[in-house]
Structure 1
Amino acid sequence: MSVNPRGETPDVGVPVAVAEHMTVAEQHEWISGFLRRHVVSRRTALRGGAGALAALGLATAPWAQASRALAATAPVSVIGRHLSFGADACGQMAIGGELTAQPGAGDMVVDLGVDTRYGQRLPVEVRHLVSQVPQVDGSIRGAEQWFVHAHAAHLHPGATYHYRFRMPDGTVTPDATFRTAPPRGHRDPFVFTAFADQGVNVDAPDGQQGFSDNYYKPDDTLRTPAPSDTLIQRVAADRPAFHLLAGDICYADPSGYGRPVKSSGPADPPAGFDKFDPTVWTAYLGAIERSAASTPWMFATGNHDMEALYDDNRSPGGATHGYGGHRARLDLPGNGPKGCPSVYTFTHGTVGVVSVDANDLSAEIPTNAGYSGGEQLRWLERTLAGLRNDPGVDFVIAFFHHCAFATSGSHASDAGVRAALAPLFDRYRVDLVVQGHNHQYERTNPIRNGRSTPAPDGATVHPARDGTTYVCVGSGGRPRYTWQPGETDRYRGRQGPDSGTTVTSFQAGPDGAKSPETVDWSQARYLGYAYLRCEVRPGRPGGTSRLRLRTITDLGTEIDRVDLVRDVPRHGSQAHPAGWTSHSSGLSVPGAVGV
């Protein structure tokens, strides 16, 4: 049985034929053994010495010389700033970034305040990440990075704050702002956005001169030159309350096929070389900064986010299963089950959001399947029950990577994910599910107990009656997939044949197994680049709340729209009862919101 299917998880230096039969933990053990047998001093392995600006261990390359010269003259600064809600989105915000080189003496701080006079100083934690990637010729390709994190707490709900990083020498980053979530049940309108499978189009730092993610198919004319970058611009222009990324974040292993591609060092690495490049994260965080420095980007983990190089990383909160690198770079709410760092929940006004780790549930890619021992599903059921029974929450949204319901010629629906999640979503009347994995846009009719209710473009859906709408937005920037033979795109404005909502597809299982199925729920399909803009318009007690889903391409064209509506009970509260606040479990418990 192929535990780790070729091309579906990052290649971090384990020979491809061997890695195919290894879990993440087993891959990490192999890497540890390789490094024990190929001991190098830290000075030798990391002699490039320029942190985020160098992929180290290739110090004779021209880019390494330039990086060392830059590091010797330029002050250390912060790049790739990004935000994440804390466990209490109303009163907590995590502020992160990456240093351009090793920090010097002295303490960094984040200046924080309601205006540019700031007034508060937050301590900054520096997380040091060393990446040593085995190469097939016995050498080691490495990188040394420093990530900075500050945590703001006791904030006012629904308030705007200014912040900046201040270095020990007094230099500062540009001012940026963020807004905390309003109280649970607050009924002002807001917008959030979503996509998945993004990658990075921009040229990478000096450490990766050969890296490129711009290998789009020549017949793809329905796109901008760099879709990933363009979609960031569109999200940044929307200034959403938050952005959801449903897994497969940066693709530090850009191809996923186990073949040598352009990566750090020479443009054409020797045959068989590993191409996992941890400094691709530097390029990625730099690319999203235009949005993520002011909007919380909330990440779920996909199959390309399981990086076995970091399985024993000891970042705060702990992380295994190949998520240690994420814990060094990112800060997620951390209020999910123990040992599941990318499983969490938060509430923004009348919307409850849950991040699920589909790697734990996947039948198609069982590399990490079952790692939580069932605890994720037990936590998920408790959390969904709490959200659905909360009078201040109208809409419940889940997001994750592998699709429970989708069609394509590549992954389609994951049998394990569907079996685990669909019954829970039916039971607790989940309104919207955001998925990735298939590089396409696809919206289902609302589905309940395997049955769908027609919801064409422009329709109004009543989730309490009709079921859950599943949207695949793996259209965030990576090269597109194909449909099953004979099936076509289906979206507003398309000219030509239309294969309709009943199409042939399959459920993906282990070892490439594909169980054929004919589905009647594939309402909208687009093999292009697009994101989801979600407009929340809460109603008052006795009225109707509306969640409008608008699908916008990288060209700026709306190709699909549907409204999800829920009646607001007359006895419903505009907020949670007085004296109650959000708790990390997703329920409401007595307490006071800190200010």
Structure 2
Amino acid sequence: MTYTPRGGAPDVGVPADLAVSMTVAEQHEWLTSYLRRHPISRRTALRGGTGVVAALGLASAPWTLAACAQASQAPVAVVGRHLAFGADPQRQMAFGGELTAAPPPGALVVDLGRDGSFGTTLPVEVRRLVSQVPQADGSIRGSEQFFVHARADGLAPGERYRYRFRLPDGTTTAEADFTTAPPAGATAPWSFTAFADQGVDTVPPSGLGGFTNGYYEPADTRRTPTPATTMVDRVAAQRPAFHLLAGDICYADPSGEGRVVRSNGTRKAPTGFDSFDPTVWTTYFGMIERSAASTPWMFATGNHDMEALYDDNRSPGGAAHGYGGHAARLDLPGNGPSACPSVYTFRHGNVGVISLDANDLSTEIPTNAGYSGGAQAAWLRQTLTALRADPSVDWVVAFFHHCAFATSKAHASDAGVRAAVAPLFDEFGVDLVLQGHNHQYERTNPIRRGRSVVQAPDGATVRPETDGTTYVCVGSGGRPRYSWQDGETDRYRGFAGPDSGTAVASYVALGEEDHQPEQVDWSQARYLDYAYVTVDVTPPQGPAQTTRLTVRATTDTGQEIDRVVLERRSRT
């Protein structure tokens, strides 16, 4: 099987016939060997004059935010705060952030409380992440980052809490607040939001080029100048119960193939390699902090989240998937298969949410395909069985990256993902699926056995028990938009036409270049620009009463362009 498509084999140190079939684990082994052969020293870090980057702690122009703070003797601070639910959102919350320098001596804690006071002190774990990135000129860019994490357990359901990080010298972050999931039987409406493929709008601390929005046309008035940032502003203003990001988080790895890392100072990596810049994560967390410090952001992993520089998480079969950096930066519920760190589930009110890792299932980008050895598929069946057996759960929502059903010219539908999840979603009556990967907004009619069951135009009411599963691609979170299939057009509220309808020609990706044409009948709403989804949840007001999910698509400019209502009769 070919693991290094689009660009062939690495051109230094790796035989071509071996490189084309290298897994992420083998790539990491090669990288480790490369670093052993090219140890970082002050001479290595500084050679090459102005075009050479420096190794952290060994040169006068360090790469990372932490190093910059050390060099200027600035006080250490916590930046980029973000929250995540634990496995039980009624009682558990995780707090994360990044230090601007190495942790000072003494205890770093989180103060937590209610009613205007802090009554609880939580210990903070500091996770050190060293990234040694080979460069095209033979040097090594080194970064050392320190991520801080704390966990709260035993919280009260449906309560608002206040918190702050406190450093050993007594300085604190600004206070922020959050609300736990409601108690069982709560009847107040609530909402969550979702998108995917976000990235950043500004140059990261390293100065790596290519991460701006300069590729947009100035005359394009259908979007905001900085869509990734604008999405955060809209979610922050809305203050949902939580936010789902269906993969391709910050694009620290802009190539998205999970290949050996070898950078040249821009997004464009040398042939056969991926570029990588760990400081993009610093920029990203700073960008989302105004929302994520108070609203849990729950992440799935996409192809741009396979960071081959890191190889810390291994499945039982020995394959590795490049999520070691995520283990340092993120806190996820961790209740999925042990081999799959981004596979998990949680329940909020009468909604059960499932995060899947489509990298394990994809046939289009096979780098990590099959790494779980079937553990994810088995876990998905068990989890769906448990959710449908729980009378307090009316709705099941899944989110992941590569699309099971979509029509983009760039990726369309992934055969491996569709084969793995669609039959189970049919069997267990999954209500709503949120996908990314294709940089567009697209909503299907409700689908069963791969075909439309009923038409669901803008404003329609869908009954999933009889009508099937609604799939939404919301890879419209900020990165450059794609294009439709030839002859296909936008289709959304306010679009004047022409309208190519719901039946269009598309394809299923059997491999990166192996596309099987298909004529679909389910592509109901399409918008080739920036948008996010809000899901308004109306719980049942009593036994056997109607409960609703209202799915709304809103552009980065604030225009609602699509809406559909899902209805069920509550089970309790």
Structure with higher RCO (Cα < 8 A, 6+ apart): 1
CA drift of 1:71 comes to 3.8
- If the length of structure 1 is used for normalisation, what is the TM-score? 0.87
Question: 1:534, 1:548 within 8 Å by CA — same for their partners in 2?
Answer: yes
- Distance (whole Å) between structure 2 residues aligned to residue 508 and residue 273 of structure 1: 23
Question: 2:246, 2:301 within 8 Å by CA — same for their partners in 1?
Answer: yes
Question: 1:97, 1:147 within 8 Å by CA — same for their partners in 2?
Answer: yes
Question: 1:448, 1:468 within 8 Å by CA — same for their partners in 2?
Answer: yes
Indicate the SS of the match to 1:188: coil
Indicate the SS of the match to 2:409: coil
Residue aligning to 1:437:
437
Per the alignment, do residues 273 and 377 of structure 1 end up closer, same or farther by CA in structure 2, a change over 3 Å counting?
A: closer
* 1:217 pairs with 2:208: no
Written as runs of structure 1 = structure 2, the 5 A alignment for 1:218-237 is: 218=217, 220-237=220-237
Letter of the structure 2 residue corresponding to residue 556 of structure 1: G
2:559 corresponds to which of 546, 557, 560: 557
- Distance (whole Å) between structure 2 residues aligned to residue 395 and residue 65 of structure 1: 42
Residue aligning to 2:306:
306
Report Cα offsets for 1:185-210 as digits up to 9, x if no partner.
Answer: 433210000000000113423x3264
Indicate the SS of the match to 2:233: helix
CA drift of 1:502 comes to 0.3
Residue aligning to 2:160:
160
* 1:404 pairs with 2:420: no
- Distance (whole Å) between structure 1 residues aligned to residue 347 and residue 286 of structure 2: 27
Question: 1:193, 1:235 within 8 Å by CA — same for their partners in 2?
Answer: yes
CA drift of 1:538 comes to 1.0
- Distance (whole Å) between structure 1 residues aligned to residue 257 and residue 364 of structure 2: 16
- Distance (whole Å) between structure 2 residues aligned to residue 45 and residue 126 of structure 1: 27
Per the alignment, do residues 365 and 266 of structure 1 end up closer, same or farther by CA in structure 2, a change over 3 Å counting?
A: closer
Residue aligning to 1:456:
457
Question: 2:211, 2:267 within 8 Å by CA — same for their partners in 1?
Answer: no
Per the alignment, do residues 377 and 406 of structure 1 end up closer, same or farther by CA in structure 2, a change over 3 Å counting?
A: same
- Distance (whole Å) between structure 1 residues aligned to residue 376 and residue 321 of structure 2: 14
Question: 2:363, 2:512 within 8 Å by CA — same for their partners in 1?
Answer: no
Written as runs of structure 1 = structure 2, the 5 A alignment for 1:144-159 is: 144-159=144-159
Residue aligning to 1:74:
74
Question: 2:55, 2:140 within 8 Å by CA — same for their partners in 1?
Answer: no
Per the alignment, do residues 515 and 568 of structure 1 end up closer, same or farther by CA in structure 2, a change over 3 Å counting?
A: same
Question: 2:254, 2:304 within 8 Å by CA — same for their partners in 1?
Answer: no
- Distance (whole Å) between structure 2 residues aligned to residue 69 and residue 448 of structure 1: 55
CA drift of 1:303 comes to 0.6
CA drift of 1:214 comes to 1.2
Indicate the SS of the match to 2:565: strand
- Distance (whole Å) between structure 2 residues aligned to residue 264 and residue 385 of structure 1: 48
Per the alignment, do residues 267 and 327 of structure 1 end up closer, same or farther by CA in structure 2, a change over 3 Å counting?
A: closer
Indicate the SS of the match to 1:228: helix
Indicate the SS of the match to 1:253: coil
Residue aligning to 1:501:
502
Report Cα offsets for 1:257-297 as digits up to 9, x if no partner.
Answer: 999xxx89699999999631000000001000000000000
CA drift of 1:39 comes to 1.8
- Distance (whole Å) between structure 1 residues aligned to residue 393 and residue 156 of structure 2: 20
CA drift of 1:61 comes to 5.0
Residue aligning to 2:329:
329
Unpaired segments ≥5 residues, structure 2? 48-53
CA drift of 1:104 comes to 1.4
Residue aligning to 1:478:
479
Aligned residues: 557
Question: 1:7, 1:258 within 8 Å by CA — same for their partners in 2?
Answer: no
Residue aligning to 1:545:
547
Letter of the structure 1 residue corresponding to residue 443 of structure 2: R
- Distance (whole Å) between structure 2 residues aligned to residue 245 and residue 210 of structure 1: 25
- Distance (whole Å) between structure 1 residues aligned to residue 166 and residue 477 of structure 2: 33
- Distance (whole Å) between structure 2 residues aligned to residue 394 and residue 544 of structure 1: 10
Written as runs of structure 1 = structure 2, the 5 A alignment for 1:192-211 is: 192-205=192-205, 207-208=206-207, 210=209
Report Cα offsets for 1:167-199 as digits up to 9, x if no partner.
Answer: 011110000001111234433210000000000
Which has the larger displacement, 247-256 or 294-303? Answer: 247-256
CA drift of 1:73 comes to 2.7
Per the alignment, do residues 342 and 483 of structure 1 end up closer, same or farther by CA in structure 2, a change over 3 Å counting?
A: same
Indicate the SS of the match to 2:79: strand
- Distance (whole Å) between structure 2 residues aligned to residue 116 and residue 405 of structure 1: 48
Indicate the SS of the match to 1:121: strand
CA drift of 1:14 comes to 8.9
Per the alignment, do residues 247 and 170 of structure 1 end up closer, same or farther by CA in structure 2, a change over 3 Å counting?
A: same
Letter of the structure 2 residue corresponding to residue 72 of structure 1: S
Question: 1:336, 1:379 within 8 Å by CA — same for their partners in 2?
Answer: yes
Per the alignment, do residues 255 and 273 of structure 1 end up closer, same or farther by CA in structure 2, a change over 3 Å counting?
A: closer
Letter of the structure 2 residue corresponding to residue 35 of structure 1: L
- Distance (whole Å) between structure 2 residues aligned to residue 289 and residue 68 of structure 1: 21
Question: 2:255, 2:267 within 8 Å by CA — same for their partners in 1?
Answer: no
Question: 2:70, 2:101 within 8 Å by CA — same for their partners in 1?
Answer: no
Per the alignment, do residues 271 and 481 of structure 1 end up closer, same or farther by CA in structure 2, a change over 3 Å counting?
A: closer
CA drift of 1:385 comes to 1.1
Letter of the structure 2 residue corresponding to residue 108 of structure 1: L
Per the alignment, do residues 409 and 101 of structure 1 end up closer, same or farther by CA in structure 2, a change over 3 Å counting?
A: same
Question: 1:210, 1:264 within 8 Å by CA — same for their partners in 2?
Answer: no
Per the alignment, do residues 514 and 14 of structure 1 end up closer, same or farther by CA in structure 2, a change over 3 Å counting?
A: farther
Written as runs of structure 1 = structure 2, the 5 A alignment for 1:370-385 is: 370-385=370-385
Letter of the structure 2 residue corresponding to residue 5 of structure 1: P
Indicate the SS of the match to 2:390: coil
Report Cα offsets for 1:383-439 as digits up to 9, x if no partner.
Answer: 111111211111100000000000011100000000110000000000000000000
Question: 1:319, 1:341 within 8 Å by CA — same for their partners in 2?
Answer: no
Written as runs of structure 1 = structure 2, the 5 A alignment for 1:230-245 is: 230-245=230-245
Report Cα offsets for 1:146-169 as digits up to 9, x if no partner.
Answer: 000000011001111100000011
Letter of the structure 2 residue corresponding to residue 252 of structure 1: A
Per the alignment, do residues 191 and 342 of structure 1 end up closer, same or farther by CA in structure 2, a change over 3 Å counting?
A: same
Per the alignment, do residues 184 and 413 of structure 1 end up closer, same or farther by CA in structure 2, a change over 3 Å counting?
A: farther
Letter of the structure 1 residue corresponding to residue 555 of structure 2: T
- Distance (whole Å) between structure 2 residues aligned to residue 131 and residue 382 of structure 1: 37
CA drift of 1:133 comes to 1.1
- Distance (whole Å) between structure 2 residues aligned to residue 220 and residue 15 of structure 1: 44
Question: 2:40, 2:55 within 8 Å by CA — same for their partners in 1?
Answer: no
Per the alignment, do residues 420 and 268 of structure 1 end up closer, same or farther by CA in structure 2, a change over 3 Å counting?
A: closer
Letter of the structure 2 residue corresponding to residue 234 of structure 1: R
Percent identity, please.
69
Question: 1:488, 1:499 within 8 Å by CA — same for their partners in 2?
Answer: yes
Report Cα offsets for 1:562-590 as digits up to 9, x if no partner.
Answer: 00000124xx1xxxxxxxxxxxxxxxxxx
Indicate the SS of the match to 2:567: strand
- Distance (whole Å) between structure 2 residues aligned to residue 319 and residue 185 of structure 1: 43
Indicate the SS of the match to 1:283: helix
CA drift of 1:522 comes to 0.1
Question: 1:135, 1:274 within 8 Å by CA — same for their partners in 2?
Answer: no
Report Cα offsets for 1:81-106 as digits up to 9, x if no partner.
Answer: 00000011110000000000111111
- Distance (whole Å) between structure 1 residues aligned to residue 527 and residue 80 of structure 2: 31
Per the alignment, do residues 130 and 65 of structure 1 end up closer, same or farther by CA in structure 2, a change over 3 Å counting?
A: closer
- Distance (whole Å) between structure 2 residues aligned to residue 3 and residue 224 of structure 1: 37
Per the alignment, do residues 27 and 57 of structure 1 end up closer, same or farther by CA in structure 2, a change over 3 Å counting?
A: farther
Indicate the SS of the match to 1:26: helix
- Distance (whole Å) between structure 2 residues aligned to residue 267 and residue 509 of structure 1: 27
Residue aligning to 1:568:
570
